[in-house]
Structure 1
Amino acid sequence: MNSALPEGYFKRPNVARVQDHLDGGTDNYAPDRDFARDLVAAAPWLPGSVRINRAHGPRVLNCLTREYSIDQVIDLGCGLSHDNNRDVPDEVRRMVYVDSDPGVDAHARMVLAERHGTVSLRADLEDMTVLLAAGPIARIDRGRPIGVLLHDVLPWLGDDTAHTVLAVLRSWLPAGSVLSVTHATTDMAPEAMAALTRLYEAAGIGFLPRSGPQIRDLLRSWTPLAAGGPVATASWRRSTPLHPRFDHSHAYAILASPGDRIS
């Protein structure tokens, strides 16, 4: 894929860089920070939501390695990270970070250069056939279980693309594999989510937070690995769920396997 940055790449807000700013990072520019201010004005809890989602990644990786003995992981739509190397357990022997953003890919190649078994791939989820045939993923051992992270990715995809991505993954993954999803939801703050959607739309960015039933519908062909379906990301695997008043995740998390259809 062409690695050149699109024209005007640094002159308009970019999802990965906006998320980085909301998470307290420094890989962002004035248009991202200006746009982020508008987002936070509409949803003051948004920085907390981004940070909860980022913190969820390492927790899931620990779960995949310790509970499911998975040592090869694909992070689809990885976005910018402050220090990916520190987030990856030693038990993970191969980690493939995938994103369609050329800036994210360049950043990942720089940050991940020192860790053996960790590679970056620039690829678009809208062409899953090409993505899964690319060298870094083609070298993954499909004779053993694979972990896939889809964290804060599906809300940026329309329904048709989201269904296609999940269907192709389900057909491709070997038995014993585990999919981890986080997804922004309209259930907790519908008016604020509607305002965020309008702001993103005005910036030329598609954003589609979904309700719990809509997320469940996306995953209807997958088997949840915990009873009760999606849970608030901030409450995932906590012995005492956070009170809604203190839960700023505004997103759901779920682990699933490519198994029988959910009834």
Structure 2
Amino acid sequence: MIPPHYFQQPVLARVQDHLDGGTDNYAVDRAFARTLLTVAPWLPASVRINRGHWLRVLHYLTRGLGIDQVIDLGCGLPHDDHRQLPDSVRRIVYVDNDCVVEGHARMILAERAGTASLLADLTDVPALLAAAPIQQFDHDRPIGVLLHDVVPWLDDDTARTVLAALRALLPAGSVLSLTHATGDFTPAGQMVRLTEVCQDAGIFFRPRPGTVIEALLAPWTLLSGCGLVTTATWQPPGAAFNRPLSQHAGLDQSHGYAALATTGDPTT
């Protein structure tokens, strides 16, 4: 059941939908987005970059690494790229803890064979992986996990617990795609003010520096060529134009990092 106050306060998935030019949002979301934009006018570009990264990574996981079963954690409201799934995706489960978002995902995305949606709390990884849609995966083969723009909304202890549990419970050779907001390349004070605006609205938000994100990923093994780069400059490993982060810093509007990491199977 939807709480009566649900449409009276901003919801992140709807705010991001508005920032991306969508229509699945309400006046309260648009008002909050306007406040955010006074602090961080680059937010629409950042949202678009993160969403475009979703499809690039999905192509690489399925076609480059042969991982054709994927979990999209904290999927948010469906966007155009969700309707462009590569044929190489055999099965994908969209997971969100918001009942309205999950219901919308179920309605829009279930039209394609091999897709399912799941209402679940990603902070309870054992229960998540035991849910019926994910139990239909072949757990003798690697699973791809998309964790895009989710960890910044978790506190440090929860973030460490989630990442460690995924690492421990996923099949060998599974691959995690992470994106994470950062203030490393943001004009001085902007991320602090953005965090304060979210806090005033009762929304926890913690952008992290690259060193802290790397520490969170310590249980994992970064794929060769997949160290932290800005989300906008990420390319599949081995791409001729894939350069170290230092050559790209400050040249895009992603204001976030991206990385691919594996459970550490020596064949990856």
1:257 corresponds to 2:255: no
Compute the TM-score of the two structures, normalised by the length of structure 2: 0.92
Deviations 1:180-220 (A, max 9, x none): 00000021115111111001101001001000000000001
Is the 2:185–2:255 Cα contact (8 Å) retained in structure 1? yes
Q: Which residue of 2 aligns with 1:42?
A: 39
Equivalent of 1:13, from 3, 10, 14? 10
Per-residue deviation at 1:5?
A: 1.2
Equivalent residue of 1:124, what SS? coil
Q: Structure 1 unaligned runs (5+)?
A: none
Deviations 1:93-152 (A, max 9, x none): 100000001111011011112111100000011222221111111111111111000000
Is the 2:173–2:262 Cα contact (8 Å) retained in structure 1? yes
Equivalent residue of 1:259, what SS? coil
Per-residue deviation at 1:244?
A: 4.2
| CA distance in structure 2 between the aligned counterparts of 1:48 and 1:136, rounded to whole angstroms | 33
Is the 2:73–2:94 Cα contact (8 Å) retained in structure 1? yes
Q: Which residue of 2 aligns with 1:76?
A: 73
Equivalent residue of 1:10, what SS? helix
- 1:1-263 alignment runs, 5 A limit: 4-83=1-80, 85-189=82-186, 190-227=188-225, 229-237=227-235, 239=241, 243-259=248-264
Give the paired residue count: 257
Which aligned segments of 4 or more residues in structure 1 are displaced greater than 6 angstroms? none
| CA distance in structure 1 between the aligned counterparts of 2:250 and 2:209, rounded to whole angstroms | 19
Q: Structure 2 unaligned runs (5+)?
A: none
Compute the TM-score of the two structures, normalised by the length of structure 1: 0.94
Q: How many percent identity over aligned positions?
A: 61
Is the 2:226–2:261 Cα contact (8 Å) retained in structure 1? no
Is the 2:40–2:194 Cα contact (8 Å) retained in structure 1? yes
Letter in 2 for 1:28: N
C-alpha RMSD of the superposition: 1.6
Is the 1:224–1:254 Cα contact (8 Å) retained in structure 2? yes
| CA distance in structure 2 between the aligned counterparts of 1:198 and 1:223, rounded to whole angstroms | 33
| CA distance in structure 1 between the aligned counterparts of 2:153 and 2:200, rounded to whole angstroms | 15
Per-residue deviation at 1:227?
A: 3.8
Deviations 1:230-250 (A, max 9, x none): 100000017166854540000
